[in-house]
Amino acid sequence: MRILVINGPNLNMLGIREPEIYGSQTYEDLVSFVKDVCREQNIEVEFFQSNHEGAIVDAIQAAYGKFDGIVINPAAYTHTSIAILDALKTVNIPAVEVHLSDIYKRENFRHISYVAPACIKTFYGFGFEGYRLAVLSIKEYLEKGA
């Protein structure tokens, strides 16, 4: 089983970026957290982070035929990107949306997710733990079709 973890704009600045919202751990800490989860679960994992919408679309398209699942935190593009929604629908790879923060307790403009209709689940407000939950739910979905 192969999973691609995609992180959108400004998530490379974790640790520096608004630590009161996103915590003090870095993007590298996030990558090693998810690697550990995947190692325990016997899942192959790759990571992609970009600040550019088109690059994220390219990464989703390139995942076609290569990955069994996608974990995606589209960051700010969550609330704007029909292109990322369409890319997820295009490849039709089971995808789970993750947000570190509870987007529903923040500004109104964060309450709308354009990508959610292309995802089997969304986890928000659990910090890094949300990525673990996303990996586990993709695994369960692929194994049981749940």
Catalytically annotated residues: 22, 99
Residue 50 as a binder of ligand DQA (CB under 6 A): the answer is no
DSSP string of the chain, one letter each residue: -EEEEEE-TTGGGTTTS-HHHH-S--HHHHHHHHHHHHHHTT-EEEEEE-S-HHHHHHHHHHTTTT-SEEEEE-GGGGGT-HHHHHHHHHHT--EEEEESS-GGGS-GGGS--SSGGG-SEEEESSTTHHHHHHHHHHHHHHHH--
Shortest separation between residue 128's beta carbon and ligand DQA, angstroms: 10
Please choose, out of 23-31, 69-77, 83-91, 131-139, the segment that lies near ligand DQA by the rule CB under 6 A.
69-77
Q: Does residue 26 touch ligand DQA according to CB under 6 A?
A: no
Q: Rule CB under 6 A: which of 75-94 touch ligand DQA?
A: 75-76, 78
Q: Considering the rule CB under 6 A, would residue 122 count as an interface residue with ligand DQA?
A: no
Interacting span for ligand DQA (CB under 6 A) from 27-35, 43-51, 52-60, 68-76: 68-76
Provide the binding-site residues for ligand DQA, judged by CB under 6 A: 10, 73, 75-76, 78, 99-101, 103, 110
